[in-house]
Amino acid sequence: MSRIGIIAEFNPLHLGHKYLIDEAKKQGEVVCVISSNFVQRGDTAIVEKRVRTQMALDCGADLVLELPVCYSMSTAQNFAFGGVSALVMAGCDTIMFGSETGEIEPLLKTAEILNSTDFKEKLSQNLKNGRTFAKARQITAESCGAPKGILEGANNNLAIEYILAAKQLGANLSFKTVKRLGANHDSGDALGGFASASLIREKILSGDFNFAQKYMPKAAFSLLSDDNVSNIDLIDRAVLATLRTKSLNDFKNLPDVSEGLENKLFSAIRVATGLFDVYNKIKSKRYTLARIRRIVLSAFLGLDNTFFMKAPPYIRVLGFNKNGKKIISQQRKQNGNKLVLKATEIKNLGALAEKMFVLENRATDLYLLSLKKPQECGLEYTAKLIKTGD
């Protein structure tokens, strides 16, 4: 039996995710790495990571691991690097993911092209023409022989980054994909019995839980409540207040800041009266909205480039069942306990590990203010492991 790894946000866990987990379970044990409480699009997760952990376990996962915030709210490249690193630490031999293409060979071919010297030289030239990184990357890849349109799909892009991350880590992993069903990523439509996570989040935030119920597994939906849903609007002024205390130099050290973007950010913050005002003053064809949101929240959370494209010094276990417990026992023997079960174990793993945990702890404490009923600090220390099937 294989040990299949899935990297996801489960934001929230919907029927498409359940389909992916079910397909993975046909082949072996399932390890899920899920985003922290701030996610890749530059937003708070719709529910706290431990609620999403319970969703994953109830929907078939054997072991759920945390993707730390310095990876979960980062570029696709760093998101993938952190996620694949976690799966390697968990002893996975295969990564499975959804993709728009539904075929693995075009993804492998494109990854090979993106890793070539020819591609990198041509990309550098195309970036000088004022295009966004995503557009320049797509044009360059296709000029080097990549299948037309393959980089237009968000899931295809992440899949290719997983393949590239595994290569960079020297990990001997297999890759399998299932075709994404129904609505596209970030689609505003529900198709074929499936809705995108973004549409489900939108409905939940508007109070339409009935819509969410139609497109989420029963076990996952049952964990939603009005009180545990996060809304970034509730911390809008807190974020802006923190940003106003930052100097221009503080912005220079943020992840993914380049080309003088710190100047635009600093200027926008001085005059903006809300987060969306900040975003609208900076976004352009060159700078995508998701990138701007990530940079803004990185400033709020105090993130920097320390962990960019570096393997995490530890990976924290969030929850498991009986199969997952066996995986943990096996892998902790092999990894020197870098598969962490308790916060108190982190202090023994060195300065980098402690720094990463400080950032995670801060992120969670601030996230808890985005709930309808804010919670006290310290959840990273007090939260219990989620265990099922005992």
> Each residue of 68-88: pLDDT tens digit?
999 999 999 999 999 999 999
Specify the pLDDT at position 390: 63
Are 240 and 217 found together in one domain? no
Q: 240, 266, 301: which is the final residue of a domain? A: 301
8 Å CB contact between 178 and 17: no
Are 267 and 221 found together in one domain? no
Between residues 182 and 347, which one has the greater pLDDT? 347
Q: pLDDT of 240-298, one tens digit each? A: 999 999 999 999 989 999 888 999 999 999 999 999 999 999 987 778 899 999 999 99
Residue carrying structure tokens 């037309």: 148
226: domain CATH number is 3.40.50.620
Are 194 and 260 found together in one domain? no
The answer, yes or no, to whether residue 186 has pLDDT greater than 70, is no
Are 118 and 215 found together in one domain? no
39 forms bridges with which residues in the sheet?
Answer: 43
Q: 260, 277, 301: which is the final residue of a domain? A: 301
Specify the pLDDT at position 125: 83
The answer, yes or no, to whether residue 184 has pLDDT greater than 80, is no
The answer, yes or no, to whether residue 191 has pLDDT greater than 80, is no
In a domain, 108, yes or no: no
Are 137 and 278 found together in one domain? no
Backbone CA torsion sign across 362, 363, 366, 369: negative
Are 254 and 358 found together in one domain? no
Are 72 and 118 found together in one domain? no
In a domain, 107, yes or no: no
In a domain, 159, yes or no: no
8 Å CB contact between 99 and 156: yes
Are 80 and 131 found together in one domain? no
Q: Which long-range contacts (CB under 8 A, 24 or more apart) does 218-223 make?
A: 219/55, 219/58, 219/59, 220/12, 220/13, 220/14, 220/18, 220/55, 220/58, 220/59, 223/47, 223/51, 223/54, 223/55, 223/58
Are 92 and 182 found together in one domain? yes
**Number of domains present in the structure of the chain:** 3
Collect all residues with Cβ–Cβ distance below 8 Å to 271 and sequence separation of at least 6: 281
In a domain, 33, yes or no: yes
Are 326 and 378 found together in one domain? yes
In a domain, 166, yes or no: no
| Domain housing 126 | 114-152
In a domain, 36, yes or no: yes
8 Å CB contact between 200 and 14: yes
34 forms bridges with which residues in the sheet?
Answer: 8, 66
Are 50 and 144 found together in one domain? no
Mean pLDDT of 152-165: 95
Q: Which of 22, 34, 35, 29 is nearest to 4 (CA)?
A: 29
Specify the pLDDT at position 189: 66
Average pLDDT, the chain: 93
The answer, yes or no, to whether residue 174 has pLDDT greater than 90, is yes
Q: Counting Cβ atoms within 10 Å, is residue 384 exposed (0-12), middle (13-18) or buried (19+)?
A: exposed
Are 145 and 192 found together in one domain? no
